[in-house]
Amino acid sequence: MDEFGLIDKYFKSSSLQRNDVIIGIGDDAACLAIPSGMQLLVSTDTLVAEVHFLNSWSPYDIAKRAVMVNVSDIAAMGGLPAWVSLALTMPDFDEVWLQQFSKGLDDALREFNIALIGGDTTRGPLSITLTIHGFVPAGKAVLRSGAKVYDKIYVSGELGAAGLAVSFLKRDDIDSLDRKVVEKKLINPKPRTDLIEIIQNYATSAIDISDGLSADLNHICDLSNVGASLIANNIPIHPLVKKHFDTLALDFVLSSGDDYELCFTVSPKNESAFLASLAKNKMTCYLIGTIENTKGLRAIDANGEVKEIKPHGYSHF
């Protein structure tokens, strides 16, 4: 099977159709219509075998994970995902692998009403590059650079489970149930698209937690020219992280990534309305600190002692 036959069989035929895709897979480029009053968000992520996923994982799960981590980037800016293009590099043509991968891709895209609009297939070490496009109302994109002094810092869920799963990979002494719980968090992350409208309406800045809370919050602080003070006991740590890391659980959560929860800031004047909106939608987010004028990150423990935090998270280099 040549490249075009591969694309037709595994990707083009099952691709979800959207009215804003004028020309999709099959031409030199896609032709797309941006709805009136919207601005376009674009993000690209590359996932490399044995770095972002294991070859032993199901191709179905690998494809779904690739979509989820990209959707998370659009959600973090208050946008709705719409289109993706896929660049897939494979060492060999493997029909069974491709059938499972294309099924996982299609299921994930349909979950968020995303159309596959094109891409490329090549031979080489296994890697997956997705470019995702999303819409946000004009002027409503939530940036990392919008945090202001006195803003409250929130996160959208418990942290550390995915990082714990990574730490378990080279260990054979872990309870099988514990391993299964955290592996699900790592392999099947859930982007917080349920918070998109709330992020649009109330967040002054936002980022998804892919590299670790301290590293990602520090990106907000650097671009906003501010600092942050965290309340150590308020940071929502996954129970299994507490079980396996005990007193070091907080340090672990500050530096472990792949959670794909959102970290965002809310102005004090809008906090009551924000909390009311959460309650109305039966959602929970966690207040973990305050934006300050003094640069850097700090954490206040239960005894009121202040500890400086050195931002640390996953880095490829």
Kindly list the domain boundaries of the chain, sorted by start residue: 3-137, 144-309
pLDDT tier at 124 (50, 70, 90 boundaries)? very high
CB proximity list for 219: less than 8 A, separation 6 or greater: 144, 207
What is the chain's length? 317
pLDDT tier at 5 (50, 70, 90 boundaries)? confident
Tell me which of 169 and 4 has the higher pLDDT.
169
Query: Is the predicted pLDDT of residue 14 greater than 70, yes or no?
Result: no
CA-wise closest residue to 180 among 240, 236, 105: 240
At CA 70, angle to CA 110 and CA 238, rounded to 5? 100
Query: Is the predicted pLDDT of residue 2 greater than 70, yes or no?
Result: no
pLDDT tens for residues 25-70?
A: 888 899 999 999 999 999 999 999 998 999 999 999 999 999 999 9
CATH code for the part of the protein at 3-137 = 3.30.1330.10
Tokens 């939530």 correspond to 142
Measured distance CA(208)–CA(192) in Å, rounded:
9
Q: What pLDDT was estimated at residue 196?
A: 97
The helix or strand, by DSSP H or E, that contains position 21, with its residue range, turns out to be strand 21-23
Measured distance CA(68)–CA(210) in Å, rounded:
12
CB proximity list for 317: less than 8 A, separation 6 or greater: none
Distances (CA, A) of 77 to 21, 33, 142, 235, 306: 22, 20, 5, 22, 31
What average pLDDT score do residues 269-290 get? 98
CATH topology of domain 144-309: Phosphoribosyl-aminoimidazole Synthetase; Chain A, domain 2 (3.90.650)
Residue 217: what are its φ and ψ, rounded to 5°? -60, -35
Is the pTM above the cut of 0.75?
Answer: yes
Instruction: Give residue 50's region: left, alpha or beta (phi > 0; psi -120 to 50).
Output: left
Q: How many helices (H) and strands (E) does the chain have?
A: 10, 13
pLDDT tier at 257 (50, 70, 90 boundaries)? confident
Measured distance CA(140)–CA(259) in Å, rounded:
25
Partner residues linked to 137 by β-bridges: 38
Distances (CA, A) of 95 to 87, 102, 129: 17, 10, 20
Exposure class string for 71-103: b at 16+ Cβ within 10 A, else e: bbbbbbbbbbbbbbbbbbbbeeeeeebbebbbb
* DSSP label of 53: B
Residue 40: what are its φ and ψ, rounded to 5°? -95, 130
pLDDT tier at 174 (50, 70, 90 boundaries)? confident
Q: What pLDDT was estimated at residue 13?
A: 66
pLDDT tier at 290 (50, 70, 90 boundaries)? very high
The helix or strand, by DSSP H or E, that contains position 186, with its residue range, turns out to be helix 176-187
Residue 61: what are its φ and ψ, rounded to 5°? -70, -35
Q: Please, what is the average pLDDT of the chain?
A: 94
Tell me which of 129 and 175 has the higher pLDDT.
129
What average pLDDT score do residues 150-158 get? 98
What average pLDDT score do residues 204-225 get? 97
